[in-house]
Amino acid sequence: MLTYFPHLQQFVAVALIAFLAVMVANVADCVDAMMTARAAGKPIESAKLRHALWKLCKEWVLLIVVFLIDLLMAFCWTTLPFITVVCASAMIAVEVLSMVEHARLRKDKITKLPSQLKDLVEYLGEDDVKEMLRQFAKRKLNIE
C-alpha cells in the first residue's frame, strides 16, 4: 500500500486535523450560543443543543464523502486532501460567523429588553405602564 501511496500518513494526518478542527469549531459555537442565551436571560434549550450535534454529524458525513473523493484523487496526482481542507475551512468559517452574530447579540442590550419590560410591568402595574407608553407616544408624535 505504501508503495502506491507513500504519503499516506501525511494525508490521513491532515484529514484528521480537518475533522477535529470542524468539531472544535462546532463545540465552540455551541458553547458561545449558550453564553449568549445566558447573557440574554433566555433559558438554554436542549433542542438547540441536539440541533448542534445533528449539524456536526451532517458536517462530518459531508467531510467523509469529500475525503473519499480526495482519496480517489490521491491515487492519481494529489498528495494532500485539498478538497477536505477547503470544505472544512468553509464549515469553520460558517461557525465563526455564527459566533460573531452571538457576540453582537451579547453586546446589544436590546436582547435583555423583554425580560426587563416584564419586570417593569410587574413592578408598576399593567395600567400604569400603558398610560406611560400612551403619554410617551403622544409626546413623540406631537398629538394632544
Q: What are phi and psi of 106, to 5 degrees?
A: -65, -40
pLDDT at residue 3 in the model: 64
What pLDDT digit, counting tens, does each position of 53-94 carry? 899 999 999 999 999 998 888 877 777 889 999 999 999 999
Q: What is the mean pLDDT of the chain?
A: 84
pLDDT at residue 92 in the model: 96
pLDDT at residue 7 in the model: 77
What pLDDT digit, counting tens, does each position of 91-128 carry? 999 999 999 998 888 777 656 666 667 777 777 788 88
Sign of the Cα torsion 123, 129, 132, 137 reads positive
Distance CA 92, CA 57 (A): 14
What pLDDT digit, counting tens, does each position of 90-99 carry? 999 999 999 9
Return the axis-axis angle of helices 8-40 and 82-107, rounded to nearest 10°. 10
Whether this model's pTM surpasses 0.85: no
DSSP label at residue 80: S
